[in-house]
């Protein structure tokens, strides 16, 4: 009887998750009148887009499947030709993310990513705070080219966090406070910062860059994002572990065994193998080419593809590895489709109409006042999202449109909202893909996780809106 009741509850929940996107599709597309400035096809395209966003939040289907349905519907009801609907899959940003995923697979497959993380622990792991800094810096290095925060943070960093905690007998339950609770919470908060520091920090950052370029004419590349994120990011990486250390101080402060553990693991791995040297050469070559793209003019997507091809030619990656990179192909489907939908909405005048309507509602308020209101609203709305991608998709372009219409400097708002989306993922235990992976280990309670996230959010907001804005002023971003 109990099993049948649970099955019925799951069925009701599944129907509810399906009903909301369908209601938006029908309600907006057929029942609500469209403004005079937007065509009927553009209004129906908005209905398709809104249903897709709701689906990404509620997840009645996997994200890739939802977006594929939306792409198909855009040709049936949204007035797009098939060529237009599929145009997102030819976008260079989509292929940049795909190639970066292949390179990241090589980093993880050969063990080089783990070797880098263990090296940092060996150098800085003499104290519990040092272990946290070591793993945070490891994630920062990997974030420069690995766009999957789940792969690098969950697949590489998290196992080392758990191993170090267990070295000192710290396990979920009564012994969590010895070391594990601090490390789990502090490292997770730090990886939200590293996601904000690079265009490859997580998979949807290039989507924000593409929206800025195609919808607002503001170009963002890997190097410009790196320059914008490095100073406020390093400040946050310094402050956040210290803050968590004060909020949840571990009982074990000195951790010489962590350093010894890293040394033993590195010795077990042996000297760097030929395949690791090849991956390291590709890693440094691709990052170096991205940094110098403004001088040699080679597109960063071409550079990433060359790096992936080099790994295939040298045999570090096999074609089976490429085919088995399920996360990359999943992102390819939803990312390309969402880019197309966003571009089509902008072309249909939907974003402009929204900006004019909101701007008129605020009357004579200047952009500074609007920014001071919009940033925290945008940031804390992430409590409603289990995905950075869904947050960017739903709110990034409209917020930029409103502020741009009020005269806000484009560079300031482009980077502020893009970076703050990543930082806001630290609020909850579901804010981005690695969040449930860390929380599920059971070292911190839900209340502890949320309280820490709320307090860290204040530190991040203060850091990025002071140091970050000042640094961006020096760079000429605004």
Instruction: Tell me the HSE value of 393 on the side-chain side, using a 13 A CA sphere.
Output: 29
Q: Given the structure tokens 């897709």, which residue do they identify?
A: 52
Q: Helices H, strands E: what count in the chain?
A: 26, 0
* pLDDT of 134: 92
Give mean pLDDT, residues 144-168. 86
pLDDT surpasses 90 at 339: no
Q: Which residue has the tokens 């000297």?
A: 271
What is the Cα–Cα distance from 433 to 436, expressed in whole angstroms?
7
pLDDT digits (tens, 9 = 90+) for 464-474: 999 999 999 99
**Rounded to an integer, what distance in angstroms lies between the CA atom of residue 237 and that of residue 373?**
26
Which string of DSSP letters, residue by residue, matches 315-357? TSS-HHHHHH-HHHHHHHHHHHHHHHHHHHHHHTTHHHHHHHH
**Virtual CA dihedral for 132, 142, 293, 234, nearest 10 degrees?**
-10
Distances from the Cα of 439 to the Cαs of 153, 168, 387, in angstroms? 13, 20, 16
Which one is predicted more confidently, 59 or 159? 159
Query: What does the mean pLDDT of the chain come to?
Result: 87
Band of residue 416 on the pLDDT scale cut at 50, 70, 90: very high
* Sign of the alpha-carbon dihedral angle for 426, 427, 431, 433: positive
By CB neighbour count within 10 A (0-12 exposed, 13-18 middle, 19+ buried), where does 4 fall? exposed
Domains of the chain: which residue ranges? 14-85, 92-327
Name the region of 308 (left: φ>0; alpha: ψ -120 to 50; beta: rest): alpha
Closest to 403 (Cα-Cα) out of 421, 378, 385, 420: 378
Those residues with Cβ within 8 angstroms of residue 79's Cβ, 6 or more apart along the chain or in another chain: 39, 40, 41, 42, 44, 45
How many C-beta atoms lie closer than 10 Å to residue 172's C-beta?
A: 15
Closest Cα to residue 103, out of 257, 397, 317? 317
Q: What is the mean pLDDT of residues 58-81?
A: 87
**What is the pLDDT at residue 361?**
63
Name the token pair of 301.
């997507």
In the predicted structure, residue 2 carries a pLDDT above the cut 70: no
Please check whether residue 134 is in contact with residue 311, taking contact to mean a CB–CB distance below 8 angstroms: no
Mean pLDDT of 211-236: 94
Q: What is the pLDDT of residue 461?
A: 96
Compare 222 and 60 and report the one with higher pLDDT. 222
pLDDT at 319 over 90: yes
Q: In the structure, what pLDDT confidence band is assigned to residue 358 with cuts at 50, 70 and 90?
A: low
Residue 337 and residue 190: Cα distance in Å, rounded? 31
pLDDT at 355: 65
Mean pLDDT of the 364-384 span: 87
The whole-angstrom distance between residue 167's C-alpha and the CA centroid of its chain comes to 31
Per-residue DSSP letter, 364: T
Q: What is the mean pLDDT of residues 127-140?
A: 93
Q: Do residues 156 and 142 touch, judged by C-beta distance below 8 A?
A: yes
- Mean pLDDT of the 249-256 span: 89
pLDDT tens for 433-453 read 888 889 988 899 988 999 999
What is the pLDDT at residue 449?
92
pLDDT tens for each residue of 171-182:
898 999 999 999
CA 203, 206, 209, 210 torsion: positive or negative? negative
- Is 83:291 a contact under the CB 8 Å cutoff? no
Least confident of 3-12, 173-182, 211-220: 3-12
pLDDT on residue 5: 45
> What percentage of residues in the chain have a pLDDT greater than 90?
41
Task: State pLDDT tens for residues 187-207.
Answer: 999 999 999 999 999 988 998
pLDDT at 7: 47
List pLDDT tens digits, range 80-110. 899 999 988 988 888 988 888 898 889 888 9
Confidence at residue 379, expressed as pLDDT on a 0 to 100 scale: 94
pLDDT (tens digit per residue) in 27-46: 888 888 877 778 888 888 88
CA 475 to chain centre: 24
**Across the strands, what pairs with 254?**
127
- Over residues 289-303, the pLDDT tens digits come to 888 887 888 888 899
CB atoms within 10 A of CB 281: 13
Q: Which contiguous run of DSSP H or E holds residue 92?
A: helix 92-109
Residues 120-129 have a mean pLDDT of 88
Identify the residue with better confidence: 97 or 415.
415
């Amino acid at each position: 009887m109990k099993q049948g009741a649970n099955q019925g509850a799951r069925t009701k929940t599944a129907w509810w998750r399906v009903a909301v996107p369908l209601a938006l599709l029908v309600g907006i597309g057929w029942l609500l009148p469209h403004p005079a400035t937007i065509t009927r096809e553009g209004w129906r395209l908005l209905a398709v887009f809104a249903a897709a966003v709701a689906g990404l939040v509620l997840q009645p289907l996997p994200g890739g499947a939802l977006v594929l349905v939306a792409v198909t519907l855009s040709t049936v009801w949204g007035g797009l030709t098939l060529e237009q609907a599929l145009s997102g899959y030819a976008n260079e940003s989509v292929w940049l993310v795909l190639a970066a995923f292949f390179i990241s697979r090589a980093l993880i497959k050969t063990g080089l990513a783990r070797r880098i993380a263990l090296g940092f622990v060996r150098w800085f792991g003499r104290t519990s705070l040092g272990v946290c800094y070591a793993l945070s810096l490891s994630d920062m290095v990997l974030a420069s080219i690995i766009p999957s925060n789940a792969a690098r943070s969950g697949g590489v960093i998290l196992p080392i966090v758990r191993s170090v905690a267990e070295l000192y007998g710290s396990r979920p339950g009564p012994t969590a406070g010895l070391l594990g609770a601090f490390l789990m919470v502090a490292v997770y908060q730090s990886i939200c910062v590293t996601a904000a520091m690079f265009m490859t920090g997580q998979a949807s950052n290039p989507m924000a860059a593409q929206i800025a370029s195609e919808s607002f004419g503001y170009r963002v590349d890997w190097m410009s994002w790196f320059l914008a994120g490095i100073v406020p990011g390093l400040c946050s990486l310094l402050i956040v572990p210290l803050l968590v250390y004060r909020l949840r101080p571990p009982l074990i402060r000195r951790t010489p065994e962590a350093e010894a553990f890293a040394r033993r693991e590195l010795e077990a791995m042996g000297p760097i193998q030929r395949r690791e040297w090849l991956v390291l050469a590709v890693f440094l070559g691709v990052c170096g080419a991205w940094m110098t793209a403004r001088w040699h003019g080679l597109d960063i997507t071409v550079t990433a593809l060359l790096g992936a091809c080099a790994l295939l030619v040298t045999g570090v990656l096999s074609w089976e590895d490429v085919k088995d990179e399920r996360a990359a192909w999943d992102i390819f489907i939803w990312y390309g489709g969402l880019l197309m939908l966003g571009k089509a909405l902008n072309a249909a005048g939907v974003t402009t109409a929204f900006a004019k309507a909101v701007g008129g509602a605020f009357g004579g308020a200047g952009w500074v006042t609007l920014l001071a209101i919009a940033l925290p609203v945008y940031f804390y709305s992430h409590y409603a999202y289990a995905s950075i991608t869904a947050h960017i998709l739903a709110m990034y372009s409209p917020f930029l449109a409103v502020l741009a219409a009020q005269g806000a400097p484009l560079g300031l708002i482009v980077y502020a909202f893009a970076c703050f989306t990543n930082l806001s993922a630290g609020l909850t235990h579901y804010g981005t893909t690695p969040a449930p992976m860390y929380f599920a280990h059971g070292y911190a309670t839900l209340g502890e996780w949320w309280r820490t996230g709320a307090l860290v959010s204040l530190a991040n907001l203060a850091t990025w809106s002071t140091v970050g804005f000042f640094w961006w002023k020096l760079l000429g971003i605004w």
